[in-house]
A and B are shown apart, each in its own frame.
Chain A
């Protein structure tokens, strides 16, 4: 890390990336900033509106502020719940993945399959699977006497979205953890065997510490992805019933593209973006520090 030579000519290598990202990220972002401080009377006639949109948004007593606050809370709860389920489950699955033979490749491919299904199709799969009339899950649950209806009942809707997310993404955590486990040298396990360590203490004292680094990446990716979840719930529940599963992105798209309420949408976009940026920065700092500690 430290012995990398200084060379500002390296910037030339970065220019293509910079151009592409300026076009696809900074330019659109400036449009949003622009809308967020202006109001319109229609006919493309904009005037300066200061921080009014932001004041409205961050004040939970206003209409839009209340909506934003509750969507934010819902989204944070959702991210927390799916992480709490997917993380242990993913690690457990990774430990179960075979280590030798043809089974390894086959298992990895099968585990990764849900990750490569387009998100609308993931939504469609679960929409069908969860219906009480034609879906296996919905019919089975109602058959054994559980009241389950994901389009009418908020609890069922939440359960469906959480199950769908676990189904969709646990594979990623399993693959990451598997990569981490494979990097542990055999000598560690042999030493543990000589010491007569139990399976639990092998996990607690050898595997978990070695997994730390990949788990930080896993948490980062999973948190971000669940924090901006849009497509799957929009297909399955459309944010409903009522507002029960209306997460931040769903709400934002409703305001921006549905109601074309530019000022509110822009202010919301920026606050939303800043929240993800802050959380991302915290994870990034943790990650680089882990990198350095490992290098030292």
Chain B
């Protein structure tokens, strides 16, 4: 009886959750004439024109490629830089460790709007403006602290005896770290990479502030549908549907660890 109540509850939640997404899908297969003329629960004349437009237009394609490149670049930088730091925070006490940890955390909480203007000046002056590097580095603002935090949680779950045993067995530290330690926290690395990917992929304010033409993210391309003659709702919906795919793919890979990841490795 109780089990049944639960499945009804979760089903109801999922149905409500998918209403807006269903509507977006519905719109993406309609022509604009149909969208504006009447409301219908499924497309009367299914069209792939909207999707075809995105695939064959270099500006749209470019938007997807730029977004995915800075996201991947950022993920690699964040996790690589965060790994040794997370190890240090998890295994040792040192002068100022707690303050440093809090300061990192505070960057995770810094409003992106505060940084939009100074980032613009900074990257403009060092000549990185309008490159994927600018966005990838800017997103380090919150992704590096996030990665440190998640990895620290996972590393603390590995007993320190392993470090000591390896050192007694004559492993030098770098070799121990790469050969033994990294495989042990592979889950943690996966989860940290997932979260870096996620937050870099969804963030749009900095991404669109720091780019104009050559590294324009998909979000900026989407806003330009507005200024074109009238609203191209069908095209906008199709683009929206396509942006959900990378996210859905990466969640599938971490589905077994995602809950623990959201608790920042601290359950």
The chain B residue with its CB closest to the CB of A30 is B118
Query: Is there an interface contact between A180 and B258, defined as CB atoms closer than 8 Å?
Result: no
8 Å CB contact of B198 from A20, A115, A137, A224: A115
Query: Is there an interface contact between A28 and B255, defined as CB atoms closer than 8 Å?
Result: no
Main secondary structure of the interface of A (DSSP, over half): helix
A20 to chain B: closest CB distance in Å? 5
Fill in one digit per residue for A6-20: 1 if any B CB lies within 8 Å of its CB, else 0.
111111011011001
Query: Which residues of chain B are within 8 angstroms of A92 by Cβ–Cβ distance?
Result: 9
Query: Is there an interface contact between A7 and B92, defined as CB atoms closer than 8 Å?
Result: yes
Say if the beta carbon of B72 comes within 8 Å of chain A.
no
Query: Is there an interface contact between B6 and A96, defined as CB atoms closer than 8 Å?
Result: yes
Say if the beta carbon of B244 comes within 8 Å of chain A.
yes
Known: A4-B92, A6-B92. A14 touches B262 (CB 8 A): no
Could you say which of B6, B88, B117, B256 has the most chain A C-beta atoms within 10 Å of its C-beta? B117
Query: Which residues of chain B are within 8 angstroms of A217 by Cβ–Cβ distance?
Result: 263-264, 266
Main secondary structure of the interface of B (DSSP, over half): helix
- Bound together, the chains give a CA A66 to CA B212 distance in angstroms of 34
Fill in one digit per residue for A34-69: 1 if any B CB lies within 8 Å of its CB, else 0.
000000000000000000000000000000000000
Residues of A within 8 A of B (CB): 4-11, 13-14, 16-17, 20-21, 23-25, 27-29, 31-32, 92-93, 95-98, 105, 107-121, 124-126, 128-129, 133-137, 139, 167, 171-172, 175-176, 178-180, 182-183, 199, 213-214, 217, 224, 227-228, 230-231, 248-250, 252-253, 256-257, 262, 265-266, 269, 272-273, 276-277, 280-281, 284
**5 new A-B contacts at CB < 8 Å, known A96-B13, A113-B21, A167-B20:** A8-B95, A113-B247, A228-B109, A249-B112, A273-B114
A–B complex contacts, Cβ < 8 Å, 20 sampled: A10-B94, A14-B89, A16-B80, A17-B148, A20-B137, A105-B256, A110-B17, A113-B244, A116-B250, A116-B251, A128-B27, A128-B233, A167-B17, A167-B20, A213-B266, A217-B266, A228-B111, A249-B205, A277-B109, A280-B109
